């Protein structure tokens, strides 16, 4: 059985990768050099580059001797209805089986203003004010540029693939170079927001490109910024199957995804405080999971604001295109981190995953280096997230008995509470408070115990208590 994939989407590329993982050689047709460039270097596909009409497709399939029992997959874009018709016409002559890969439609854009065509949108947008962002690619750009006023075109920005052909089309249609945003998607919500903010966008045009096309992330960013969403509706209702169903029809068995999960220490939180290994893992990952604070400082293909293992496993199950994921934890994965419990839980929930751990820079080692102190001779502890009266009492006791104690705090209230308990017992103590370490607003303050008992400042706090006259026999 021979397999031909007409690819124009992420799903086409992913299906090719899935077949290659199984050692299945196949053909892939892409419209441009760029489509070939994004194919996996490990693919077992023979790639044909160039657009074809139905006659050229028929000739191509005949040349590769496609016939009854062979499979042709239409993985072109939901809006490429003419291409899908050509594929059906060409395939009918070969008697090959045709499968259409479809995407789920929009369920998060109820407030979008909808249009039947790009021309309808162009005629309507002239009456608005504010900058416009087109995220619909170059195939429909002519229909827009030829139907809007010069004033409207002057306030229009277009986001297109970073390919020479795309740039030439934009220039030929009169789009200014400074208004061309050449980027490869899909984009995270944060990246969409950054683009809209940078160019003061008030109107965004999108297609109903579905989950794999990054549709939800665009809508979320637009809503957050108050940008009006305009959407070109799909040209017709599609009948088809999702990528895993097509894979199963071709191979006769369900897809067993090869997925890798990296649990990584993000350092104190800023991108500059991450190790090269962690940064490289983020760049290579299909998705990154973490807290909003950490995700805000990184660029990734897709971001999910969560680090609970059960929630992550659920996302991985639903998003079959994610085959490499990074879960970022604050600080170091071996120092009061959620990485250990997460690893144990993910091993149960995603048993076939390859799970590895990458260390990070802890706030203790960072603060010690800033202060010129060592920490191999110090007590290291944490009351972050566990600051009950009993926890505070244990920490106070350890500080009194030791010369140096590093402690992670839940906030400034912990600093005040601990130091209020210490100021009469250890009046000579030095309290070194590291706030928002590694960030632009990083602040390191040295205070007496009495002054620290009045400390007020919001942020992420790590403290070094230096007690030159420890009472090793102290019992609370």
Would you give the DSSP letter of residue 101?
Answer: B
Residues in Cβ contact with 107 at an 8 Å cutoff, skipping those fewer than 6 apart: none
pLDDT at 212: 57
- pLDDT-derived band at 110, boundaries 50, 70, 90: low
**In terms of CATH architecture, what is 3-102+238-251?**
3-Layer(aba) Sandwich (3.40)
Domain with CATH 3.40.50.720 in the chain: 3-102+238-251
Mean pLDDT of 167-196: 90
Nearest to 429 by CA among 404, 448, 453: 448
Q: Which bin fits 331, alpha (ψ -120 to 50), beta or left (φ > 0)?
A: left
pLDDT tens, residue by residue, 273-282: 889 999 999 9
- Per-state percent for the chain, helix, strand, coil, to nearest 5: 35, 20, 40
| 260-361 belongs to CATH 3.40.1010.10 | yes
Residues forming CATH 3.30.950.10 domain(s) in the chain: 364-466
| Residue 401 reports pLDDT greater than 90 | yes
Sign for the CA dihedral angle at 160, 163, 168, 169 comes to: negative
User: What does the buried/exposed string (b/e) look like for 354-393 if buried means 16 or more CB atoms within 10 Å of the residue's CB?
Assistant: ebebbbbbbbbbbbbeeeebebeebbbbbbbeebeeebbe
Average pLDDT over residues 74-78: 83
What top-level class would CATH report for the domain 113-232?
alpha beta
Q: What is the largest CA-CA distance in the chain?
A: 92
Angle at 407 between CA 293 and CA 393, to 5 degrees: 120
Cβ-contact 203, 133 below 8 angstroms: yes
Q: Where in the sequence of the chain do the CATH 3.40.1010.10 domains occur? A: 260-361
Which tops the pLDDT comparison, 82 or 72?
72
pLDDT score of 289: 95
More confident residue, 58 or 39: 58
Q: How far apart are CA 216 and CA 237, in angstroms?
A: 20
State mean pLDDT over 326-335. Answer: 91
Q: Give the model confidence (pLDDT) of 27-51 as tens digits.
A: 999 887 766 666 666 678 888 888 8
Peptide bond into 472 cis (omega under 30): no
Q: What is the pLDDT of residues 122-167, one digit of tens each?
A: 999 999 999 999 999 898 899 999 999 999 999 999 999 888 889 9
How does residue 463 score in pLDDT terms, banded at 50, 70 and 90? very high
Of the options 3.30.950.10, 3.40.50.1110, 3.40.50.12170, 3.40.50.261, the CATH number for the domain spanning 364-466: 3.30.950.10
Average pLDDT over the chain, rounded to whole?
Answer: 89
Q: Say which residue, 271 or 275, is predicted with more confidence.
A: 275
Collapse the DSSP code of 475 into the 3-class scheme (helix H, G, I; strand E, B; otherwise coil) and give the result.
coil
Q: Could you tell me which residues come within 8 angstroms of residue 15 by beta carbon, excluding any fewer than 6 positions away?
A: 5, 7, 73, 75, 101, 243, 246, 247
Backbone φ and ψ of 117, nearest 5°: -150, 165
In this predicted structure, what is the pLDDT of residue 408?
94
CA distance linking residue 102 with residue 78, whole number of Å: 7
């Amino acid at each position: 059985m021979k397999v031909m994939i007409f690819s124009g989407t992420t799903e086409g590329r992913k299906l090719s990768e899935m077949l290659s993982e199984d050692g299945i050689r196949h053909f892939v047709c892409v419209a441009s050099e760029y489509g070939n460039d994004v194919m996996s270097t490990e693919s077992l596909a023979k790639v044909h580059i160039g657009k074809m009409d139905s006659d050229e497709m028929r000739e191509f399939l005949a040349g590769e001797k496609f016939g009854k029992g062979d499979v042709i997959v239409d993985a072109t874009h939901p809006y490429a209805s003419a291409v899908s018709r050509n594929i059906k016409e060409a395939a009918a002559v070969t008697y090959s089986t045709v499968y259409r890969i479809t995407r789920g439609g929009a369920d998060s854009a109820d407030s979008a203003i909808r249009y039947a065509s790009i021309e309808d949108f162009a005629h309507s947008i002239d009456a608005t004010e504010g900058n416009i962002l087109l995220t619909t690619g170059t195939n429909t750009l002519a229909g827009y540029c030829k139907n809007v006023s010069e004033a409207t075109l002057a306030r229009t920005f277009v986001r297109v693939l970073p390919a020479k052909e795309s740039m030439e089309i934009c220039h030929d249609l009169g789009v200014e170079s400074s208004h061309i945003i050449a980027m490869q998607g899909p984009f995270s919500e944060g990246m969409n927001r950054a683009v809209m903010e940078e160019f003061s966008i008030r109107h965004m045009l999108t297609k109903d490109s579905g989950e794999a096309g990054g549709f939800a992330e665009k809508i979320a960013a637009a809503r957050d910024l108050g940008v009006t969403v305009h959407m070109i509706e799909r040209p017709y209702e599609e009948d088809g199957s999702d990528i895993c169903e097509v894979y199963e029809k071709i191979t006769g068995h369900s897809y067993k995804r090869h997925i890798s999960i990296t649990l990584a220490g993000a350092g104190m939180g800023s991108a500059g405080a991450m190790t090269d290994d962690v940064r490289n893992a983020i760049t290579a990952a299909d998705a990154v999971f973490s807290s909003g604070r950490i995700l805000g400082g990184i660029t990734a293909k897709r971001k999910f604001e969560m680090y609970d293992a059960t929630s992550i496993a659920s996302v991985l199950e639903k998003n079959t295109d994610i085959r490499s994921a990074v879960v970022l934890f604050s600080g170091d994965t071996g120092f009061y981190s959620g990485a250990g419990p997460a690893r144990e839980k993910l091993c149960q929930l995603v048993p076939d995953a390859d799970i590895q751990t990458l260390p990070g820079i802890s706030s203790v080692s960072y603060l010690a280096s800033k202060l010129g102190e060592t920490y191999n001779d110090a007590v290291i502890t944490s009351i972050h997230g566990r600051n009950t009266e009993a926890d505070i009492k244990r920490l106070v006791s350890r500080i009194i008995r030791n010369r140096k104690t590093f402690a992670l705090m839940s906030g400034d209230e912990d600093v005040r509470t601990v130091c209020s308990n210490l100021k009469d017992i250890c009046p000579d103590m030095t309290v070194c408070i590291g706030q928002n370490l590694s960030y632009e607003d990083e602040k390191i303050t040295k205070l007496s115990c009495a002054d620290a008992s009045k400390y007020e400042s919001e942020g992420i706090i790590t403290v070094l208590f230096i007690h030159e006259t420890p009472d090793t026999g102290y019992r609370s």
